Amino acid sequence: MKKNIFIPLFVIAICLAVIGCSSESKTQDWVESNLFTSESYTFIGEEGKLGFIYDDSDVARFYPDKGHKYMWNFWGSEEELKGVVTVTATHENDDEKSITLFSYRDPWQYQNSSEKRNLPSVFSLPTSGMWKLDAFIDDELFGSIFVKVHEYEE
């Protein structure tokens, strides 16, 4: 009789451990992306893949509904960088819903560099907290950048 009780309790304990670990790992990923330098500019993002010029100064920092101009850089082959570029943003507390920041059809047509492409944008994020910016090329995820939107100090 004790064996019959032990097995369901063991299964429940394992399920709770798996659920706890999966929700913990989900929140661990929401860390601001690293800063890196390329051609004397400071970027935030994935070095050698995706980033935009950003130096985390008070002027450049993200604040709710404060728009800025950001120069994006995409590194990759001509084939990888071909197509419609769309960037969406998802807040850490609402990862089921994202907003489209911008979308450009074939934005590279006048750029000569085959290993790096530039893309200007202007956008803002509506609330404070951590945000994940996903860059897609032809609906395929190219890379993600995590940014922090700071609260206004009073």
What is the architecture of the domain spanning 31-149?
A: Sandwich (2.60)
What is the mean predicted confidence (pLDDT) over 5-24? Answer: 49
Domain residue extents for the chain = 1-29, 31-149
pLDDT score at 137: 95
Between residues 71 and 29, which one has the greater pLDDT? 71
Per-residue pLDDT tens digits for 88-117? 999 999 878 899 999 998 777 666 666 788
Share of the chain above pLDDT 70, in %: 77
136 contact partners, CB below 8 Å, separation of at least 6: 84, 85, 86, 87, 88, 142
Q: What is the DSSP string of 99-134?
A: EEEEEESSTTTT---SSEEEEEEEE--SSSEEEEEE
On average, the pLDDT of the chain sits at 83
pTM score, whole prediction: 0.78
Which of 84, 12, 71, 11 lies closest to 44, judged by CA? 71
Which of 14, 51, 19, 4 lies closest to 32, judged by CA? 51
Kindly tell me if the per-residue pLDDT of 27 is higher than 50: no
